[in-house]
Amino acid sequence: MRLFLAACLAVPLLGGPALAAPLAHFKTATLAAHSCPGDTVVWATGGKSKLYHKAGDRYYGKTRHGSFVCEKAADSAGLHAARMAAVRKKK
């Protein structure tokens, strides 16, 4: 019963981290932008990496599994921005 109540209230039971709020996933950046006015829309990759890509990144909207989400919501859900290395021109 204690575990159920702690999970419902998103309260840590024994000092562990609080449960993250679920992300609202969108198929298009336009739909996501309507959901989070004043916030940046990012592409959250699906999987264990917990990454998101910003507009202009190489993989923004292009990974096989992913969705558009609000950046603040992604941050609060434990995702972090991908570190994109500068694209070097081949000689």
For residue 75, CA distances in Å to 13, 31, 39, 83, 91 come to 23, 19, 12, 15, 38
46, pLDDT greater than 60: yes
Task: Quote the CA–CA distance of 64 and 71 in Å, as a whole number.
Answer: 20
Of residues 3 and 46, more confidently modeled? 46
Q: Given this model, what pLDDT does residue 15 score?
A: 42
> How sure is the predictor about 47, in pLDDT bands with cuts at 50, 70 and 90?
confident
The pTM of the whole model exceeds 0.85: no
Task: Extract the tokens encoding 15.
Answer: 């000092």
